[in-house]
């Protein structure tokens, strides 16, 4: 029963809501976890059981942001069941999501970035690909999903530009530095020619477009090889890109445009990062700090 209802819900998200396969996959994983925890009929769940589910997530050490996302999935699932006439009311009525503090973005120092970008040995085609990937992610501040969706036709290596399709299918042009362009050229040359049209820029070992998960594994692998011990997240290179620009006095609106943020408030969080840096410098060097 539970899995049949979940399948109907996921079909609804795809057909009626038009959500991407990646987003639907996240909903599927969250629902699977909820069903694994709850062995009872999902149509008979009450708010007390939802409360116990939340406590279980906290006891397992999930971050408030992760708990909020999982709760949102379950909430939407029961909203769907209510619309379908399967339940009279949602068991999540009156249950609030955890309060989220504004978390500063994780980033690497310029030295750590240098170590990371220098980690791939570039002796094989896959190493060359990984080197080019790291340079493009940091050089353009791209999301992993944006990087893996790049086609060769999106590149203007002579001019130092790349066309990026961001969130909400919003297109933007992002400058790409000389070093990143050079490594992309080297990778394409070793891969064998530069075919035109909608041909994926970055391939896996089987000659198919690299997946988002594979791109994330590449970052983690080379961060480990570079001896970087701090936590690494999918957006770490993107956050480092923005933080380093701001620390060198780049205009916030310029960074907003580069990152593809629709609202300046999304970019302003990086000012807190550089403010913390200024505070540390002040305390270290000012005689009366």
Which residues in 20-58 are b (16+ Cβ under 10 Å) and which e? eeeebeebbebbebbeeebeeebeebeeeebeebbeebe
Q: In Å, how far from its chain's centre is CA 18?
A: 20
State both tokens at 96: 């609030």
The set of catalytic residues is 143, 167, 235, 238, 261, 270
How many Cβ atoms from other residues are within 10 Å of residue 142's Cβ? 26
Which of these, 228, 9, 254, 267, lies nearest to 110 by C-alpha position?
A: 228
Which of these, 153, 247, 137, lies nearest to 197 by C-alpha position?
A: 153
Question: Measured between alpha carbons, how far is 36 from 32 in angstroms, rounded to an integer?
Answer: 6
The tally of CA atoms less than 13 A away on the side-chain side of residue 57 is 23
How many Cβ atoms from other residues are within 10 Å of residue 153's Cβ? 13
């Amino acid at each position: 029963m539970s899995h049949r209802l979940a399948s109907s819900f996921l079909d609804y998200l795809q057909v009626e809501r038009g959500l991407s396969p990646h987003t639907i996959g996240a909903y599927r994983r969250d629902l699977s976890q909820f069903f694994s925890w709850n062995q009872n009929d999902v149509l008979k769940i009450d708010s007390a059981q939802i409360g116990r589910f939340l406590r279980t997530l906290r006891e397992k050490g999930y971050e408030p942001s992760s708990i909020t996302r999982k709760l949102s999935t379950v909430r939407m699932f029961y909203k769907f069941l209510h619309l379908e006439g399967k339940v009279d009311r949602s068991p999540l009525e009156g249950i609030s999501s955890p309060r989220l503090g504004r978390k500063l973005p994780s980033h690497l120092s310029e030295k750590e970035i240098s170590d990371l970008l220098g980690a791939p040995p570039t002796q094989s085609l896959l190493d060359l690909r990984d080197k080019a990937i790291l340079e493009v992610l940091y050089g353009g501040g791209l999301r992993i999903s944006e990087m893996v969706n790049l086609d060769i036709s999106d590149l203007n290596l002579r001019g130092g530009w790349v066309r990026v399709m961001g969130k909400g299918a919003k297109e933007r042009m992002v400058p790409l530095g000389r070093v990143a362009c050079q490594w992309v050229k080297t990778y394409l040359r070793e891969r064998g020619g530069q075919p035109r049209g909608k041909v994926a820029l970055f391939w896996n070992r089987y000659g198919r477009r690299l997946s988002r998960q594979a791109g994330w594994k590449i970052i983690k692998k080379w961060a480990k090889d570079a001896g970087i011990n701090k936590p690494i997240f999918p957006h770490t290179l993107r956050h480092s890109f923005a933080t380093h620009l701001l620390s060198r006095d780049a205009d916030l609106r310029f960074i907003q445009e580069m990152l593809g943020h629709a609202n300046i408030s999304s970019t302003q969080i990086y000012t807190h990062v550089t403010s913390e840096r200024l505070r540390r410098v002040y305390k270290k060097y000012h005689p009366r700090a």
